[in-house]
Chain A
């Protein structure tokens, strides 16, 4: 039904503006900011924007882009107009996120244990068990607190008349939280007066919260766990974030070569000899974790770590095998998971999705390609997708062929009229589309998050792709307290 609502206007789309309503007046939660913006001389704004750029470059808050010259780093553009969320909207989002992430963790435990949801026929068993992201090595492994996704980055968009939708659940190694924290730090440094005038909920305690969660899921019997962050290394696109989080939590940032396994126990090599490691916040994909089990050519991982993990001697966050729950082919079933495990109605909307493996859906998709978004089921980062309305005839025909050749590799969704927000661009201030990624932390029965999350904004006019690898920027995200 949500699907009719979105398509109500056909190809012509009305965009929800976060700041201004359809009558042209500034929404209540933006009034104070708007007044400040109007009263602040443009020269001061320009100076502050240059200052922010310089500071980000000097601090080296950068990311590497795959496919570009090795070691080259780019700044993620930062926009000084914040994305503001009123308190009541955030409360709804927060309780919806809690519900959703809880159900996803229950689903993961289930599919690696009794598989009740498959037996009940809610999700076709082959969709799960034949999924490349399903890891049979995890069957029967009891992870602490039954938590698989300790850190979840849920991508949320606002569309149509202003409803929120979950676009995807990132349960593997979601990134971006360092930008959320650095954006806030920058904003407070540039414009401290804004924070005395507006009651902006703080976010800076995220690293403490994360450390607390990681310590809480240590293997049984470990009193004072040693936590580390595992990175693929300095040339990874998110390296800045890895080192940032390790530093903020006061734990070691390790690479695979710093760790080794002896008698199913993980150690790190230190200047004072081997030291036992209990919890690993790993920022390496499953495939690269253990060359003895997964990709043998991986030099990023640690040989034997899976055995140590299965023996319960070390905790990995996130667990191995979470990808089966955020795969785009499983996404359409999340509302059913919530009903099945929690007996509740989903509080957050899913985007209606056509599963191209179903002949009827495929037919519909092929007939409506120019107006749909087509995504590869295992794709991520905005690569391998088609945005129908923004594509050329050739691109559409190319995808038509891909769909016909391998229908089960794709899903399709209506092109959402992503909300937009005024943003500084070359020609002045203009509306640009954005999304929101809150970071949800789970341990035991407890699901927490800091208010807001990372707001990504597509800086190219009309673009609906906000990924930083595709030229997206970020904004500070304010949740206004009542």
Chain B
């Protein structure tokens, strides 16, 4: 497969996955903002989203204050923000456009139709229709895109690069969502009830609430939430699950120069496979997640170098 084609497929799947996870994160923050709390606490939650995405500066350059409406506008429909949901949907579509001959017509039509619908929306029209409905719509379009990929695409290299993109992005995003608890912490200890809601909301944002109940049949504790989202190999949004898929698909596309990248992916996977939550928490969850996100970034870099934009020209 052409390196450039693989590059577009990789980013196409990353952007649609990113849009979905952003919708999940914003949705849970918005729902949490409905729980009675101080204005300061509410705005701290919104600020955490900017911090998580390294967007504080570009936000501050455009908006006077951090509050729900401004952050939502910036992260949902601001075309000038390349990390907004609208921008992600556009970039997913543009990458698909560049390889529309490689993806199936159903896949292309799904992403193209998603963009055509999204492009017609404004922040006002999204609010008027209910922002929760919008987040549902984004998640549904992402599911549809993933479904048409699974249901129609030949499982060749194209499929493997799409899976690598999807799972790498999801691993990064789940780590970020988990890390939000760190950025969102108040200066004073939080009361039990609010904390319960926050962990519950976090679980819901990754469709993990029912999963948690099923797996643990017990009250929600931070340790178990972290374990579920980091170490459970059968939870489709956990880091372990994602790295399983990354390693497997990477093995299937391996080439002469990808050895080091595969080794690093394998190492990350092994640490999740054999890791214990007690050790991670003892290390410090935030520090551990930060390190993990750095390594995901590094892995993406390696994949790009080995497969997507190879420099070597020797025949």
Q: Which residues of A contact B (CB under 8 A)?
A: 57-60, 233-234, 243-244, 246-247, 252-255, 257-258, 260, 262-263, 265, 267-274
Point out the residue from A58, A253, A271 that lies within 8 Å of B157, measured CB to CB: A271
Q: Does any Cβ of A come within 8 Å of B121's Cβ? A: no
Say yes or no: B101 contacts A258, CB within 8 Å: no
Point out the residue from A60, A246, A254, A263 that lies within 8 Å of B315, measured CB to CB: A263
Quote the shortest CB–CB distance from A128 to chain B (angstroms). 38
Say yes or no: A271 contacts B1, CB within 8 Å: yes
Known: A262-B314, A269-B2, A272-B255; 6 extra A-B contacts, CB below 8 A, are A234-B94, A252-B2, A269-B310, A270-B1, A270-B3, A271-B161
Say yes or no: A265 contacts B97, CB within 8 Å: no
Give the distance in Å from the alpha carbon of A244 to the alpha carbon of B97 in the complex. Answer: 11
Q: Does any Cβ of A come within 8 Å of B105's Cβ? A: yes
Quote the shortest CB–CB distance from A210 to chain B (angstroms). 14
Give the distance in Å from the alpha carbon of A271 to the alpha carbon of B98 in the complex. Answer: 17
Say yes or no: A60 contacts B108, CB within 8 Å: yes
Q: Does any Cβ of A come within 8 Å of B256's Cβ? A: yes
Given contact pairs A58-B112, A271-B307, A257 touches B4 in the complex (Cβ within 8 A): yes
Say yes or no: A273 contacts B4, CB within 8 Å: no
Give the distance in Å from the alpha carbon of A255 to the alpha carbon of B99 in the complex. Answer: 11
Question: For the complex, would chain A's binding face be called helix, strand, loop or mixed by DSSP majority?
Answer: mixed
Say yes or no: B6 contacts A271, CB within 8 Å: yes
Question: For the complex, would chain B's binding face be called helix, strand, loop or mixed by DSSP majority?
Answer: helix
Say yes or no: B97 contacts A269, CB within 8 Å: no
Quote the shortest CB–CB distance from A175 to chain B (angstroms). 16
Given contact pairs A234-B97, A243-B100, A270-B2, A260 touches B313 in the complex (Cβ within 8 A): yes
Give the distance in Å from the alpha carbon of A274 to the alpha carbon of B1 in the complex. Answer: 10
Given contact pairs A60-B108, A246-B101, A253-B101, A271 touches B315 in the complex (Cβ within 8 A): no
CB-CB contacts below 8 Å: B279-315 with A: 307-308, 310, 313-315
Given contact pairs A252-B2, A265-B315, A57 touches B116 in the complex (Cβ within 8 A): yes
Point out the residue from B6, B105, B313 that lies within 8 Å of A59, measured CB to CB: B105
Say yes or no: B4 contacts A269, CB within 8 Å: yes
Q: In the assembled complex, which residues on chain B have CB atoms less than 8 Å from the CB atom of A272?
A: 1, 255
Give the distance in Å from the alpha carbon of A25 to the alpha carbon of B109 in the complex. Answer: 44
Say yes or no: B108 contacts A262, CB within 8 Å: no
Nearest neighbor of B258 in chain A, beta-carbon distance: A271
Q: Does any Cβ of A come within 8 Å of B253's Cβ? A: yes
Give the distance in Å from the alpha carbon of A379 to the alpha carbon of B161 in the complex. Answer: 44
Name, among B2, B99, B109, B253, the residue most crowded by chain A CB atoms within 10 Å (CB to CB).
B2
Q: In the assembled complex, which residues on chain A have CB atoms less than 8 Å from the CB atom of B108?
A: 59-60
Closest 8 CB pairs of A and B: A247-B101, A243-B101, A271-B307, A269-B3, A246-B101, A262-B315, A234-B98, A271-B6
Give the distance in Å from the alpha carbon of A273 to the alpha carbon of B1 in the complex. Answer: 9
Could you mark each residue 142-162 of chain B with 1 if its beta carbon is under 8 Å from any beta carbon of chain A, else 0? Answer: 000000000000000100010
Q: In the assembled complex, which residues on chain A have CB atoms less than 8 Å from the CB atom of B116?
A: 57-58
Say yes or no: A60 contacts B1, CB within 8 Å: no
Give the distance in Å from the alpha carbon of A273 to the alpha carbon of B313 in the complex. Answer: 9
Q: Does any Cβ of A come within 8 Å of B215's Cβ? A: no
